[in-house]
Amino acid sequence: MKNPKIHGAVAWEDNLKELKRDRPEVYKALKDPEPLVCLAWNMMETRNKLGLTQKGLADRSGVSLRTISYMERFEAGYNPSVDVIRKIAKALGGLVRGLVSGGGFDPLICNNR
70 membership: H or E segment, kind and range = helix 65-72
Q: Are residues 64 and 85 located together in one domain of the fold?
A: yes
Query: What is the enclosing helix (H) or strand (E) of 58?
Result: helix 54-61
Listed in sequence order, the DSSP H helices in 12-53 are 12-22, 24-31, 35-49
Residue 81's domain comprises 35-111
pLDDT at 19: 80
Domain count, the chain: 2
Asked if residue 48 and residue 27 are part of one domain, the reply reads no
Residues 53 and 94 in one domain: yes
CA geometry: angle at 84 spanning 78 and 86, to 5°? 130
**How wide is the angle at C-alpha 39 spanned by C-alphas 92 and 111, nearest 5°?**
40
- pLDDT reported for residue 100: 79
Return per-residue pLDDT of the chain as tens, 113 residues: 455 555 555 576 777 788 889 888 877 777 777 788 888 888 998 899 899 999 999 999 999 999 999 998 877 778 899 999 999 999 998 878 778 776 555 544 333 33
CB neighbour list of residue 23: distance below 8 Å, 6 or more residues apart: none
Look up the CATH number of the domain holding residue 96. Answer: 1.10.260.40
Q: Is 35 helix (H, G, I), strand (E, B) or coil?
A: helix
Q: Looking at the structure, do residues 73 and 40 belong to the same domain, yes or no? A: yes
Are 27 and 44 contained in the same domain? Answer: no
Q: Has this prediction a pTM greater than 0.75?
A: no
Examine the domain organization and report whether 45 and 86 are in the same domain: yes
